[in-house]
Chains A and B, each alone.
Chain A
Amino acid sequence: MTSLILLSIFGIVNLFLGFMKSKKVLMPMVMLFLAVSLGATLLDWNNPQTYFNNMFTMDNFAVGFTAVMVLSTLFILPFSSKYGRDEDGNLAEYYSLMLFSLVGGIMMVGYENLLMLFIGIEIMSISMYILAGSDKRNILSNEASMKYFLMGSFFTGIILFGVALLYGATGSFDLTTISDAARNIDAGNAPLLLMGLLLVLIGITFKVGAAPFHFWTPDVYEGTPTVFTSYMSTVVKTAGIAAFYKLMSAAFGGVYEQWFPTVVAITVLTLLIGNIGAVAQTSMKRMLAYSSISHAGYLMIALTSFNDRSENAILFYSLAYSVATIAAFGILKYVADERKSDAYEAFNGLGKTNPLLAFVMTVAMLSLAGIPLTGGFFGKLFLFSAALEQDMLWLIVVAILMSAVGIYYYFRVIIAMYMKEPAGERITVDALASFTLIALVVLTVLMGVLPDLFNDLL
């Protein structure tokens, strides 16, 4: 809870910092804010507290996911240093929007009440609509913002409609009350409840970028400035999937039988569309967008299995996925800025010109592909284990086949970096970003060699 308050205050303080002449102070300050918030979050560990008349709980689940989100933001920031030198004067506002959106994210993982979930989603999303369009002179960025905003508000409306129906069926927004009502489902109210559930489900599916409501992802990701794309595909996704998981487990565990087929269908569809879509891309950024769709699919496997392993698996996977994705987007930003292209070809020969960048990218790709020695491997292993405990072998076979497809497009980057002739000169990377990249690699490998340090938390 402290982190929620701190981040709100820091966001406002940061707006005032924007009045200062030098923009150089901004990033260090925001990083400090985030570090303090991370510390405050961890202080809540094993000390569950409920706030706002039972509308918000800071239990270990919320602490875990909050920590992943704050840490991810902390890792993303160093890659935005270039913005500080740009003529663009709104840096403070962008950082504040990120902090505010984090507040929304925390509400999405700690909610005990559907209103809180709704407010969280809105706080997070509205910030993102603006950030998507923050590259004002770029027509793609404008398009991304518009598309994201229109689609996002439309789906928020659907969620709201669903919440209203649930209220009609159960007489409450409270998760526990809804859960009780769902367990003793009353035949008269059943259609109302299930309809409400379906609408909320559709809305959240949109937010996490799962098929069939994924279509906005590639365009929005492509147009959004890379730093914010990185934020979108990690923090927003983590918040969305945690909210999704919490909703299904805390409120609708009783009607598991009813929603299971829908969620499984969405999962399989997401895996297929994400992976097969990624193969067809020529732009690295669009590939990462499709890859993020596919990872939503892997994460949703935990939803379908739904046992005591899946909660841990989802947290571990979120962290592993976020770390690797941030590294990938961070490097993509440098390469794309320097070589004026985000196609695979822009990465040609990076192994020769920038061994560090190429190495970090390789580890990130291996992790996303789920190869051992990286966190991504154990992420997948834990998710698959959770599902296999539930005897869903066929689903795992689909996921395995899709993982093999994933190797195809992740390795294209590695091939471009090491096996092609350089596409340009050496790219200069500032010290902070290099340090962050090294930290990301260390974290990925640590998760891949000693997963127990991170596992078994929840």
Chain B
Amino acid sequence: MLTALLILWPAVAALLVLLVKGQGAKKVAFGAALVELLLGIWAWVGFNPADSSAQYLINLPWIESAGIVFKVGMDGISLLLVLLTVFLLPLIILSTFKHNYERPSSFYALILFMQTGLIGVFTALDAFLFYFFWEVALIPIYFIAGLWGGENRIRVTFKFFLYTVFGSLFMLAAFVYLYFQTPGTHTSELSAFYQLVLDAGTQSWLFWFLFIAFAIKMPVFPFHTWQPDTYAEAPTAGTMLLSGIMLKMGIYGVLRWLLPVVPLGVSQWATVAIVLSIIGIVYGAIIAIRQHDMKRLIAFSSISHVGLIAAGLFTLTEQGLQGVMIQMLSHGINVVGLFFIIDIIQQRTGTREIAAMGGITQKAPFLTVCFMVLMLGAVALPLTNGFVGEFLLLMGVYQYNAWMGAVAGLTIILGAVYMLRMFQRVMFGETNHITEVFTDLTFTEKAVLVPLVIMVFWIGLNPNTFLNISEPAIGQLLNVINR
């Protein structure tokens, strides 16, 4: 019941928010997101980490004639992502408190509605249900970015939407094909897909159908071209949703719906996928170094970081997959925090140009500390969350192929280059006429950043809290893959 509640509550709350007139909508939305957070914590408390199977299982008939069921549940992998979603969403909503968006009730209703889609994606155990939620998560973000974004929002978000739908249609085709391979009266349940025995040729093309869908979402090079523009044009809350949570849908999709379903396809194409991912690591980092706009810099750095996660996915080692799990959390936390800080700086100074800043440290020590912690988390300094994830991921890639591991390792060096360079130019040095009047964080801003900073250290110092949750599920997943 808890899973259904987690899925349904944001949708119900979205309808409630629609009824609220004016800027009160944000408070109602924030309250609803907090309730969802409590539900998530409740699920965490009652979760049995030793059990590798799906818990809080709900299995209701949905489209009986076609054998499609409303089957949702959470194993460790799902739980972590659900927790990430319910943790970030209130912070994302809180981060928008100082903005007075036009038509606020629609804005916040869309955010909550998207949460329904996201939780649905992370818990669905039926292929069509998964697809269903996948698209449900997509529509709100299209409107969020398209309605409240920057100048080029229409062209940019449209490109993003076309890309994603194009990919997901291929996923749908693959699912329908798999559905017909299930014996007897067909079923689209995940467990039935896991039991399928398909020949290598079929798995080979199925791999690409599924890979394209998920790779576009992550995004993996060369399917990334929608990403920097969309991140830059979307309102900051939209960018946070996209980078913090939504791109995890792609990674999760690979983990849950690609690797175990077409393992032979994976063994044929893993090298190609990893090479593409590693190209993305280096390419994203190099372009990030050249950026003048802070938001675009973080957007490209995200391509680089996600590239490493993607590479880890296809190593099929326990370290690699555990690294994927923990890095998904870390990346979500860091990137949301960084985008928020950029938004704060933009609010105060009216620009995102790195060259225009300087000396903010003198004016805003609290901001500096938060920014530094998050930045160091992003460049994977030991004791921060990024280190744990990147270490495990690099270990996984290294086990797969030492050379690939070496090239992938460039992410740490290059990451330090662009992050520290940005930090230095923005925060240190002399103040100028723009940063002269810079003020430190307000209470609301602190309320967003402090939990993120705490999480950076929590994961960095005691990653086992989270690794233990996903470990049995990852083990189980590897069993399915190596069956």
Interface residues of A (CB under 8 A from B): 312, 366, 371-373, 377-378, 381-382, 384-385, 388-389, 393, 396-397, 400, 403-404, 407-408, 411, 415, 418-419, 450-452, 455-456
Contact = CB atoms under 8 A, between A and B. Distances in A.
Interface string B151-167: 00110001001100110
B234 to A, nearest CB: 13
Contacts of A378: 63
A418 B147 contact: yes
Contact of B146 (A312, A389, A415): A415
A381 B172 contact: yes
Contacts of B64: 452, 456
Contacts of A381: 128, 172, 176
B63 A452 contact: yes
A372 B146 contact: no
A419 B162 contact: no
A373 B14 CA distance: 16
Contacts of A455: 63, 65-66
Interface string B208-244: 0000000000000000000000000000000000000
B135 A372 contact: yes
B176 A384 contact: yes
B139 A403 contact: no
A365 to B, nearest CB: 11
B158 A415 contact: yes
Contacts of B169: 400, 403-404
Contacts, number: 74
A230 B179 CA distance: 36
B165 A407 contact: yes
Nearest to A455: B65
Contacts of A382: 66
Nearest to B131: A372
B65 A452 contact: yes
B66 to A, nearest CB: 7
A404 B162 contact: yes
A419 B146 contact: yes
Given A312-B65, A393-B173, A404-B169, 18 more contacts: A371-B135, A372-B136, A373-B135, A373-B139, A381-B128, A384-B173, A385-B179, A400-B172, A403-B169, A404-B162, A407-B162, A418-B146, A419-B153, A450-B62, A451-B63, A452-B64, A455-B65, A456-B64
Contacts of A450: 62
Contact of B132 (A372, A393, A397): A372
Q: Is the interface of B mostly helix, strand, loop or mixed?
A: helix
Interface of B: 62-66, 128, 131-132, 134-136, 139, 143, 146-147, 153-154, 158, 161-162, 165-166, 169-170, 172-173, 176-177, 179-180
Contacts of B154: 415, 419
A28 to B, nearest CB: 33
A389 B66 CA distance: 12
Nearest to B128: A381
Contact of A400 (B62, B143, B170, B180): B170
A452 B162 CA distance: 29
Q: Is the interface of A mostly helix, strand, loop or mixed?
A: helix
Contacts of B143: 418
A371 B139 contact: yes
A411 B63 contact: no
Contacts of A419: 146-147, 153-154
Contacts of B177: 388, 393
Most buried by A among B136, B147, B158, B169: B169
B133 to A, nearest CB: 8
A373 B146 contact: no
A407 B66 contact: no
A382 B146 CA distance: 31
Contacts of B165: 371, 404, 407
A397 B147 contact: no
A408 B131 contact: no
9 contacts: A372-B134, A385-B180, A400-B172, A403-B169, A411-B161, A415-B158, A419-B146, A451-B63, A455-B66
**Which 6 residue pairs across A and B have the least CB separation, nearest first?**
A456-B65, A372-B135, A400-B169, A404-B166, A372-B132, A452-B63
Contacts of A388: 173, 176-177, 180
Given A373-B132, A419-B153, A407 B161 contact: yes
A377 B65 CA distance: 16
Given A373-B136, A419-B154, A397 B173 contact: yes
Nearest to B132: A372
A451 B134 CA distance: 18
Contacts of A396: 173, 176
Nearest to A420: B154
Nearest to A397: B173
Nearest to B154: A419
Contacts of A397: 173
A377 B66 CA distance: 14
A452 B69 CA distance: 11
Nearest to A369: B165
Nearest to A312: B65
Contacts of B170: 400
B87 to A, nearest CB: 26
Given A404-B162, A404-B166, A415-B154, A366 B176 contact: no
B217 to A, nearest CB: 15
B433 to A, nearest CB: 35
B180 A389 contact: yes
Contacts of A407: 161-162, 165
Most buried by B among A372, A397, A400, A415: A372
A19 to B, nearest CB: 49
Contacts of A373: 132, 135-136, 139
B158 to A, nearest CB: 7
